[in-house]
């Protein structure tokens, strides 16, 4: 693919990621902020006077990317007031929008480059179908499979001393999932048959299941008494945010890429005008 075409598709991917991020922000604010606020209230009600906990300042943006985006929260001393560097209102609006939009633009650019590589190499799929396949594969390998091993936890769950370890494990799971997913796609493409493609997909699932069993678990257990329904709502909002983002990107970028790659209509040559009869 010519570099000029790659550049145009990259710009369209960034634009699609930005617009999909706006849609995801609306979802995160309307659906995800409720469980986050309830989790913070649960933390404040049950925390010790001088305890340390994770604070979900990133709100649903953190929910969308696992515990890696969680912020450290320090509770007030007994009888004192909590010192808040950034207000909760700012966190849930400007902070949330910034996180989701930056994430959307970043994944949009990366997915656009992956689209440029995949187009014509994974089968006789058009731009729209290829965009949908790339977005679906990215959702599964980058988010959903790592989520099954290390699901997002609400603000009241987690020890700030383990944030580094949890972040490293989460991104390790992402890297392994992407590498093994790419290997499965290459293997299925080289073998060339439908059965081989299905076998490659099953092989990916088996290898990831083994890795999930081997990798260390998340040491931060859910506190006793934490509402199960609230935990469920938080994790559903986390998954929903990613579904909205990747679905929006697939639809938008597929349309933009299809138009960018459509062959230009040939200009009809104008026929010579016959001279009028005398």
**Tell me, what's the pLDDT at 112?**
95
**Tell me, what's the pLDDT at 90?**
79
**Tell me, what's the pLDDT at 66?**
46
Helix and strand totals (H; E) in the chain: 10, 2
Q: Which tokens hold the place of 221?
A: 């257990």
User: pTM for the full model?
Assistant: 0.78
Which residue spans within 42-118 are E strands per DSSP? 52-55, 71-74
List Cα–Cα distances, 165 to 90, 109, 127, 159, 162, in angstroms: 28, 28, 40, 11, 5
DSSP 221: P
From first to last of the 278 residues of the chain, give the pLDDT tens digit. Answer: 777 889 999 999 999 999 999 999 999 999 988 888 888 787 777 665 544 444 444 444 444 544 434 444 433 333 444 556 667 777 778 888 999 999 999 999 999 999 999 988 877 889 999 999 999 999 999 999 999 999 888 876 767 777 788 888 999 999 999 999 999 988 888 877 778 788 888 999 999 999 999 999 877 767 777 888 888 999 999 999 999 999 999 999 999 999 998 875 554 444 455 555 54
- Residue 230 in contact with residue 38, Cβ under 8 Å? yes
List Cα–Cα distances, 102 to 94, 96, 110, in angstroms: 12, 10, 12
**Tell me, what's the pLDDT at 196?**
79
Closest by CA to 150, choosing from 80, 109, 208, is: 208
């Amino acid at each position: 693919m010519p570099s000029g075409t790659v550049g145009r598709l990259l710009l369209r991917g960034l634009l699609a990621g930005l617009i999909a991020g706006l849609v995801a922000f609306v979802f995160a604010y309307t659906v995800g902020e409720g469980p986050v606020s309830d989790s913070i209230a649960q933390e404040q009600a049950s925390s010790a006077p001088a305890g340390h906990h994770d604070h979900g300042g990133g709100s649903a943006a953190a929910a969308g990317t696992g515990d890696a985006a969680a912020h450290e929260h320090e509770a007030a001393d007994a009888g004192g007031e909590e010192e808040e560097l950034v207000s909760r209102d700012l966190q849930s609006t400007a902070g949330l929008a910034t996180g989701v939009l930056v994430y959307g633009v970043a994944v949009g650019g990366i997915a656009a480059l992956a689209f440029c590589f995949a187009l014509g190499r994974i089968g006789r799929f058009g731009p729209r179908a290829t965009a949908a396949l790339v977005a679906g594969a990215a959702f599964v390998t980058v988010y959903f499979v790592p989520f099954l091993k290390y699901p997002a936890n609400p603000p009241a769950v987690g020890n700030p001393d383990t944030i580094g370890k949890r972040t490293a494990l989460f991104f390790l799971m992402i890297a392994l999932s992407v590498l093994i997913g790419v290997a499965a796609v290459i293997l299925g493409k080289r073998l060339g048959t439908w059965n081989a493609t299905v076998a490659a997909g099953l092989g990916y699932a088996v290898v990831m299941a083994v890795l999930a069993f081997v990798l260390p678990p998340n040491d931060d257990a859910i506190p006793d008494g934490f509402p199960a329904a609230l935990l469920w709502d938080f994790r559903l909002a986390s998954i929903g945010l990613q579904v909205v983002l990747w679905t929006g990107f697939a639809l938008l970028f597929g349309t933009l890429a299809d138009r960018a790659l459509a062959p230009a209509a040939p200009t009809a040559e104008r026929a010579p005008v016959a001279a009028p009869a005398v």
